[in-house]
Structure 1
Amino acid sequence: MDSVAGKKVLITGAAMGLGKSFAERAVRENAADVVLWDVNETALKETADELAELGPGAVHHRVVDVSDREAIAEAGEAVRDEVGDIDVLINNAGIVRGNGYFWETSNRADIEQTVAINSLAPMYITLEFLPAMVARRAPARVLNIASSAALVANPRMSVYAGSKWAALGWSDSVRLELEQSGNEHVKVTTFCPTYIDTGMFTGAKGFLFTPIIEQEHAVRTAWTQMKEGAALVVMPWTSRFNRAISGLLPLKVRDRYLDFVGVYHSMAEFTGRKS
């Protein structure tokens, strides 16, 4: 897939940050339809209006709480009725809550919402559109935004890491299922970056040789690799290295190394995006 020109693209968490940047790329590449989902009604409307000025394709937007399975089903049906089958799905919506140790969690609902949005929502949303992708036999793409937190454990983000480990395991398994079943016209890409300067991880620290990633660099990388059908995109190189040594070194040696380079202290001053 050299371009999304003429394609129908759906992006979750599209009102701001990575989602908005993905949507801009879709519009600028002359996608036929770009569908924006987000829970933030005000920001979503502003983004939709802004994107409508950039290209000839149609920009659609819908307020969707992706932590709600019934809301996903309702929105999926609406998209099929109004736009038709989706060619490119970008599961971008995600949240991170808390910066303390797990036993300090005071709001149990944060756990459920994190898992619902980061782990379950991509599964339910993909189920809305993947069967048609498989049946049509035309090139299609699914891009799932995971995290480098899906590759190595990290203190002070245990629930987030757990939700992203689940997302990575599911996403890559679906990729294998498509290959095994002879449906390689549909490619699934899992994107695992470290901290990105979207504001979502305000206060988090970069670590040795691993600065905070610039948003447009992350989007450009993921977008290009998605179109090429890459299976797993990990950035920067230090995350690939950390993943490799995690499988090679004895556990205690690995922990000492990741503690030394700063991975295990990167969330110590995390505050997150301010309202």
Structure 2
Amino acid sequence: MSPTVRGARVLVTGATRGMGRLFAERAAAEGAAVLVLWGRDVDALQEVAAALARPGLRVRTDAVDLDDVAALDAAAHAVLADLGAVDVLVNNAGVITSSGYFWQQDPAEAAHTLRVNTLAPMRLAAHFLPAMIADAARPKRVLNVASAAGIVPNPRMSVYAASKAALLSWSDTLRLELEQAGHTHVRVTTFSPSYVSTGMFEGVRSVLLTPMLRPERAVDQAWRALLAGRAHVISPPTVHVARAARGLLPSRAWDRLAKAFGVHRSMEGFTGRPS
């Protein structure tokens, strides 16, 4: 079965801006039959839907706060009742609410981050995977947008990093479970980028040899990996080097290296949007 989205039913969370909008544009451009856009802003959803309108494409919009379990469940049930199943699920939405040290962060904000970044993708997958597994007529794909922060520890983003580390571990284990159970038409891809210039991390300091990723480039990498059914994509390549070095070096030696490259100071100028 050729990995393609032509004629597919595609759901994208966080679809009103940044990478989410670009994922939606990519799906529309490549011939998706149904595009389901989730976000919190009704007007923004309508604007994106109007911009993507074209013959042969049906666009459905759902205003959903991923921190509201009841709303998430209701929206998922409505999509399933409408479409029967989705062929591509893009868990893109994410938040970061603080650049302070952990003990300075409001516990309610920490819980919010975990619910949106980790628990919501899990809950969405729980809703949609049974139908995806049952419908083997065409390939199914799940893309979970994690972060390099889940791989390389970085001060002033402990809760965000924890939420993405948990997402990464769950996502890759889910991939293995599907393979072990024989559901090979459903593939899970985890995307772990460094800072992406969408505004979410506005004000962060550059890290030596690790440029801020353009959202178009990040989405292109993730999308190609999604279609190919690749397990895990890390970008840019220097994050691979950091991952290997952290595994090989004693903790204190790695700390000194990360500090020298500017990793540990990168969040000090953070002024980006909170969600």
Work out whether the TM-score is over 0.5.
yes
In the aligned structure 2, how far is the partner of 1:24 from the partner of 1:56? 14
Contact 1:205–1:212 (Cα < 8 Å) also in 2 = no
CA distance, structure 1, for counterparts of residue 38 and residue 29 of structure 2 = 18
Q: Name the residue aligned to 1:202.
A: 202
Is 1:231 the counterpart of 2:222? The answer is no
Once the two structures are superposed, what CA deviation does each residue of 1:44-83 show, in whole Å capped at 9, x if it has no partner? 1111111114x53111101011112221110011111222
Deviation at 1:274, TM superposition (A): 7.6
Name the counterpart of 1:40: 41
Query: For residue 88 of structure 2, what is the aligned residue in structure 1?
Result: 88
**C-alpha distance in 2 between matches for 1:71 and 1:51:** 25
1:78-117 map, 5 Å:
78-105=78-105, 107-117=106-116
CA contact (8 A) 2:84 2:131 kept: no
Query: Deviating runs (4+, > 4 A) in structure 1?
Result: none
Corresponding position of 1:121: 120
Q: Do residues 218 (structure 1) and 234 (structure 2) align? A: no
Q: Does 1:64 align with 2:64?
A: yes
Q: Is the 8 A contact 2:95 2:274 kept in 1?
A: no
Tell me, in whole angstroms, the C-alpha distance in 1 between the residues paired with 2:80 and 2:118: 23
SS in 2 for 1:223: helix
* Greater Cα offset, 42-51 or 24-33: 42-51
Letter in 1 for 2:249: L
Letter paired with 1:223: W
3-state SS of the aligned residue for 1:189?
Answer: strand
Give the match for residue 243 of structure 1: 243
Letter in 1 for 2:52: L
Residue identity opposite 2:7 in structure 1: G
Letter in 2 for 1:9: V
Q: Secondary structure at the match of 1:169?
A: helix
- SS of match in other structure, 1:128: helix
- Aligned position for 1:18: 19
**TM-score normalised to structure 2 length:** 0.97
Letter in 1 for 2:6: A
Query: Gaps (5+ residues) in structure 1?
Result: none
Q: Provide, for residues 133-174 of structure 1, a one-character-per-residue CA deviation record: whole Å limited to 9, x for no partner.
A: 112223100000000001011100001001001100110010
Structure 2 regions of 5+ residues with no counterpart?
A: none
Q: How many residues align?
A: 273
**Contact 1:145–1:191 (CA under 8 A) maintained in structure 2:** yes
Give me the whole-angstrom Cα distance separating, in 2, the residues matched to 1:69 and 1:250.
41
Identity of aligned residues (%): 49
Q: For 2:51 and 2:225, locate their aligned partners in 1 and report how far apart those are by CA, in whole Å.
A: 26
User: TM-score, normalised to structure 1's length?
Assistant: 0.97
State the distance in 2 between where 1:248 and 1:255 align.
Answer: 12
Give the letter aligned to residue 266 of structure 2. S
Confirm or deny: 8 A CA contact 2:13 2:38 kept in the other structure. yes
CA apart distance, 1:93: 0.6
Moved more, 141-150 or 67-76: 67-76
Contact preservation (8 Å) 2:97, 2:274: no
| Whole-angstrom distance in 1 between the partners of 2:3 and 2:184 | 16
Q: Secondary structure at the match of 2:182?
A: coil
Please provide the CA RMSD for this pair: 1.2
